[in-house]
Amino acid sequence: MMNSGTNRKVMLVTGASSGIGEATATRLAALGAHVVMVSRTDERGNRARQKIHRAHPEASTDLLIADLATTAAIRSLAGEFNAKYGHLDVLINNAAVMTSTRRKTSEGFELQFFVNHLAYFLLTGQLMAALKRAPAARIVNVSSTAHSRGEIDFNDLQMERHYRAYDAYANTKLMNILFTYELAHRLAGTRMTSNCLHPGVIRTGLMRGVSPVLHTLWQSLGKFFKQPEEGAETPVYLATSPEVEGVSGKYFRYCREFGTSRASNDRDLQRRLWEESERLTGYRFDV
């Protein structure tokens, strides 16, 4: 297995080739972590990795390529990681998409639902053994204040009847929090923690999958948004700060703990989404 350096913590970041993910990977590498960057394409991933090493010549990074839109790709990614590394100190589930029309993955899942929620769930489960081997692993899920508009309808979980891009996105961001909280309950009594966050309204490429009109509007408003480097502050804080050592099952904005919607705190909803996620992925989560 790969030796990433005696004192370097191993941290994996999904969606690390652009936006908040790239900025997070850059900050973590600058702080001395060994950063495993996950990118959908080799070209974009290598470009981001080279950029990090130009800015920080002493950085320690690795690049794994995976399109997190299928269960097979996620299992393959986890298998590749597990073959290279003995443990994982920090997992940052960051990759997300938004699409203006309802799109399906090759396995028949609605794309936002799979990438924004099921991929978090399945990748975390597939890497759980490596997380358990770390002295005190941290799981960090990037959510959004959009979760407050989210709703969970188990009769139409993947919005087959009434699809709207932002509603679908808000639903998945609520799912991120439900997953985070349920995972924290299941990790109680261990040295592992599970937290989530809102990074701020950030100028990223998230909206490139929506309609041209909305994309143009987003671009025009971009000058009022924060840059990805600012969006990386809270995930980096949750990944590295001694202030949150042992803190679990919380939601953060601007490196501070905040409350979340009533739905996100519904224990029955947390448990049921977990069980449905196990059923849909065919993966029984072992914590």
Active site residues: 169
Pairing type for strands 256-258 and 251-253 reads: antiparallel
Q: Cβ of 10: how many Cβ atoms within 10 Å?
A: 25
Q: Are 252 and 47 in contact (CB under 8 A)?
A: no
Of the candidates 171, 168, 163, 118, the residue with the CA atom closest to the CA atom of residue 147: 171
Report DSSP letters for 62-112, one per residue. Answer: EEEE--TTSHHHHHHHHHHHHHH-S--SEEEE------SS--B-TTS-BHH
Q: Are 239 and 11 in contact (CB under 8 A)?
A: yes
Cα(233)–Cα(247) distance, integer angstroms? 17
CA distances from 149 to 92, 163, 175, 192, 236 (A): 23, 14, 12, 29, 26
